Structure 1
Amino acid sequence: MVDRKDIGSWLEGPGSRSGALSAYPGERLGMPRGGRGSMARFGRRLVGVLIDWTACQLIAAALFDVPLPFAGVASGNDTLVLLGIFALEHLLLVSTTGYTLGHRVVGLRVLSMDGQRARPFQVLVRTVLLCLFLPAMFWDKDGRSLHDKAAGTLIVRS
């Protein structure tokens, strides 16, 4: 017989399906509670993305004459140029160093679920989904966004 706990949903909160509550984000994944190697929290991730986006805006303004947000109105093509630079930054930096400029400033690193550096295909999947924006707005009780879950990656403090 099917019980209500077998069809629990995200609306019921953490531990609804397994019945076990995690003491902290990343506990189920074997991550430490705090410090180096612990799961990156939303605030750090948000600041890192804002730093990356600002850097990409400056690059787009310098190389492609895209107006800065406070200096003029951007066209649809300007937005695509900016998004392309953002994607290129993620593809190149995360696949080679494991972090973007923003990640580095706030002390974060992208890893594969096995603890190694993210593989190129994982970085590609993660970047494409990140550029769609919507997957980045949904995360699980461990703090992993949809784009990280789909790519098999996680972001930890470095």
Structure 2
Amino acid sequence: MSAEAEPSWPGRRLGLPETGVTSVAGMGSKVGAFLIDIVLAGGIALLFTRPELPRNWSLITWAVMTVITVAVLGYTPGQGLLGIRVAPLGRTYVGLWAIPRTALIFLVVPPLVTDPDGRGWHDRLCRTVVVRMR
């Protein structure tokens, strides 16, 4: 008798489905949402700094926008457009965990070092996972 290996997919250990709503979002969707958010933050900052370029104001705008929208809605504008959201594990909302999560994303490396469930250091520390909304 041969033992068959159990099927495995990102999120399986977390009790998430392999596909569809609440399945783990792929890196492409997460990067795409991040790029949308960066462009949006730069545009908003530019409105307030014209005729000068926004410089670091776009980073501040991105951080504030990310913390507020993830804490309140569970997703950034870019994530919402791409149909993904930040889901908390073991609680009902992300809340103030959006602050350290955003700070770690700002450092760039934490989101890139992922575990088998597709969670970066920022998600593991804050007990969150990015999942599909639709």
Relative to the length of structure 1, the TM-score reads 0.76
Return closer, same or farther for 1:88/1:21 CA change in 2, 3 Å cut-off.
farther
The offset of 1:22, in angstroms, is 5.9
Residue from 82, 91, 94 that aligns with 1:118 = 94
Letter in 2 for 1:30: G
- What is aligned with 1:131? 106
Q: Which has the higher contact order (CA 8 A, sep 6+)?
A: 2
Task: Say which one has the larger Rg.
Answer: 1
Q: Who is 1:59 aligned against?
A: 44
Q: Aligned partners of 1:21 and 1:123: how far apart in 2?
A: 34
| Displacement of 1:94 | 0.6
Alignment coverage as a number of residue pairs = 128
1:35–1:157: 8 Å Cα contact kept in structure 2?
yes
Give, in whole Å, the separation in 2 of the partners of 1:82 and 1:136.
Answer: 20
Letter in structure 2 aligned against 1:118: V
Q: CA deviation at 1:63?
A: 1.1
* TM-score, scaled to structure 2: 0.88
Runs of at least 4 residues off by over 3 Å: none
Q: Structure 1: where are the runs of 5+ without partners?
A: 1-19, 68-73
Correspondence for 1:45: 30
* Bigger mean CA offset, 107-116 vs 85-94: 107-116
SS, match of residue 49 in structure 1:
helix
